[in-house]
Chains A and B, each alone.
Chain A
Amino acid sequence: MATLTAVAALSAAANARDLTVVSWGGAYQDVQKQVYFEPFKATGTAMNDESWDGGIGVLRAKVQGGNATWDVVQVESEELALGCEEGLFQPLDFAKIGGEAQYLPATVNSCGVGAIVYDFVLGYDKDKLKSAPKGWADFFDTKTYPGKRGLRQGPKTTLEIALMADGVAPKDVYKELGTDAGVERAFKKLDSIKNDIVWWKAGAQPPQLLASGEVAMTSVYNGRIDAANKKEKKNFGMVWNGALFTIDSWVILKGSPNTEASYKFLNYVGKPEIQAKLSENIAYGTSAKDAPKHVKPDVLADLPTAEANMANAIEINTAFWLENLDRLTERFNKWAAK
């Protein structure tokens, strides 16, 4: 017992800093503070939070510098995959955070656990279109739905959308995109509306393009549409059919002196009833299977993880894009310049 206390005292001396959790900042982190961080502190573990802008290089520097000042970090799917391969994260022991069965299968990873699920959806202005579009095929139909279209600049999400519009079933999109013929097919489909496309680069742009009437429809992050409707009293609609979702995950950095506290934190924010509070404040889905059960029904309808919204959605394939992004970006720019 005495040795235990001595060891505890020693490790307390070694880890002179509190648990540090890092997220994306902005409105999202404000909500996290309110429903995750502050209540978690109240359970008796000291912690502070920081924000970052992503980038595997930042994590490399943190871990390989040997002076990791961060413990738990929220990362995007590419960073999760790359960092896991490079050994920047601790392998996650799901037994300590409620067991794998508690989480949606797509959000379980050997190095991380899903934090939020969010989608690229088809967004449109209900005040401008006579009838509601039903999917990506309507997005490419400029006769029935006149007006310009907004798409994210680059091949990622654009090629998937083009294939779905051309009749490829969501589940077959990456199989098709893995072939040269499939890539050709996607670009051919894009050719059909090439002159009507406005390319956006940052997530804040699509709602602006809709609001200014520059485009009639656009691909857009679901949370942005929700925010525009709530905060700016817009009347924007979303189409969940053929939505592309992606997952941000929590990871524990290798070499963290606060592993135990990190698990405590992840266990806390993995609870369905806690996660439900996040979704009620910002339109993101979360990773616990039962979280939607705790969310108010009117909020649930606009969440990526609602069953109806998940039905015809696919996850953006990180492995595919890690392998093909450089090549297809060159191809995309060649096509754009023609």
Chain B
Amino acid sequence: MVAVVAAGDIPLKRRLRRAERARQFRALALVLPLLAFLLFTFLIPIGGMLWRSVEDPEVGQAMPRTVAALSGWDGKDVPGEPAFAALAADLRQSYQDRSIAGVAKRLNYVSNGLRTTVMGTARRIHDLPAPGTARETLIAMDPAWGERITWTAIKGASGPVSDFYLLGALDLKRNMEGSIVRAPEEQAIYVDVFGRTFGIGLGVTALCLILGFPVAYLLASLPAGQSNLLMIFVLLPFWTSLLVRTCAWIVLLQGEGLINDLLRWVGLIDAPLRLIYNRVGVFIAMTHVLLPFMILPLYSVMRSISPAYMRAATSLGAPPAVAFVRIYLPQTLPGMGAGCLLVFILAIGYYITPALVGGAADQMISYFIAFYTTDTVNWGLASALGAVLLVATLLLAMVYGKLVHGQQNTGGLKN
């Protein structure tokens, strides 16, 4: 086999590659604006969030002397005079340049009450204590300086990065010896909240699938005119604001709302049912809001399934139910998968609907992220919760990818 050598002695293969590369460049140039947009509006902010969840700068920046003095401290007992002298100097300095508030706040996360200790002491140190007296001076100002926990808190927060917030988001913390332990019972809530978030997400996804499948089937099998009319009803929620839809459910579901009044009028119930400010309300409202996201992918897949398959199955003697399960259902799997993934991922990020129609025990993780972002400005913990949610979602998406990949539309004809 002689290699084909074309004009200019350049092998065809290479010329082909060159042409190919030029085409790729052109394609890349076309999507470049989109890529840049994604990078700046999506990847960089997410990177920033992930960074914030491990960044721990306040104490290291505001109290460099103390951090240096504690570098050789074994953590067994309260450190000696040099550390106290360094602390006094740092407190005084950071009070003057106003960086002390961040330190007070950060240490208070570790040991409740340190906020007052730090602020109160810093406010009162006008002059540095005489050499050799820093320890007694500080302990006289606030006995908390004589306790080991205060110093382990400072050392633990020395930064510049730490796992403090990420551990906190998983109900863990480091004890005085530095080993990871579970957070105290009354503060360990986030694992439960993540569980609740995914539970509600799964429940809503299941409800959407059960309710959406028949609707999508109907849409796909009706003649065009009627199906268009139905489609308008499906799309209607998209044209109404989320807030309006949620508030409409409040009007419908409340104790003296339309539904309870109707049931009482019919005589089915004596006392009003509790349909809102609890889990029931969250499921009803979220399912309603997310239903179109299930129906549309299902519908688009069902439209492309030829009715000939079902007819063939029936003519070969399969009862309708068997034909449906063995022939029709497997062909809708891609639509189901896409719909479920879409609804689930939207559901676990939901904030406004559970906040308005749920009770105190129905708040999802987004509620806490918002709380720490805006109410207490604890951005470290807010970012850590966001990071855990992101990682969990990516894992689930990967599992989904594996599952769907494993059975790429074989039409169920293999089994």
Contacts and interface: CB of A to CB of B under 8 A. Distances in A.
Interaction A to B: yes
Interface of A: 55-57, 82, 85-87, 148, 153, 197-199, 201, 212-214, 319, 322-327, 329-334, 336-338
B189 A85 contact: no
B305 interface: no
17 contacts: A199-B277, A212-B254, A212-B255, A212-B256, A212-B257, A213-B255, A322-B115, A323-B112, A323-B113, A326-B381, A330-B186, A331-B186, A333-B193, A336-B359, A336-B361, A337-B189, A337-B361
Nearest to B190: A330
Given A55-B377, A199-B360, 12 more contacts: A85-B100, A85-B119, A197-B360, A201-B355, A212-B255, A326-B109, A326-B378, A330-B186, A333-B363, A333-B368, A337-B189, A337-B361
Given A322-B115, A323-B113, A325-B375, A198 B188 contact: no
Contacts of B376: 325-326, 329
Nearest to B375: A325
Contact of B189 (A86, A323, A333): A333
B405 interface: no
B356 interface: yes
Interface in B264-321: 277
B255 A336 contact: no
Contacts of B251: 212
Interface residues of B, number: 40
B116 interface: yes
Interface in B92-117: 98, 100-101, 104, 108-109, 112-113, 115-116
A336 B367 CA distance: 14
B187 A319 contact: no
Given A214-B254, A336-B361, A198 B277 contact: yes
Interface in B162-193: 185-189, 192-193
B187 A86 contact: no
Contacts of A213: 255-256
Nearest to A158: B360
A85 B256 contact: no
Contacts of B101: 82, 85-86
A326 B255 CA distance: 33
Given A322-B115, A336-B359, A330 B254 contact: no
Contact of B98 (A86, A324, A334): A86
Contacts of A57: 377
Contact of A334 (B188, B356, B372): B188
B187 A331 contact: yes
B371 interface: yes
Given A85-B101, A333-B363, A327 B187 contact: yes
Contacts of B377: 55-57
B374 interface: yes
Contacts of B381: 326
B67 to A, nearest CB: 21
Contacts of B257: 212
Contacts of A336: 359-361
A87 B187 CA distance: 32
Contacts of B112: 323-324, 327
Contacts of A55: 374, 377
Nearest to A151: B360
Q: Which 6 A-B pairs have the closest CB atoms?
A: A336-B360, A87-B98, A85-B101, A330-B187, A213-B256, A199-B360
Nearest to B374: A55
A148 B375 CA distance: 27
Contacts of B356: 201
Given A82-B101, A86-B98, A336-B360, A214 B255 contact: yes
A213 B376 CA distance: 33
A263 to B, nearest CB: 23
B186 A334 contact: yes
B233 to A, nearest CB: 28
A323 B116 contact: yes
A320 to B, nearest CB: 10
A331 B196 CA distance: 17
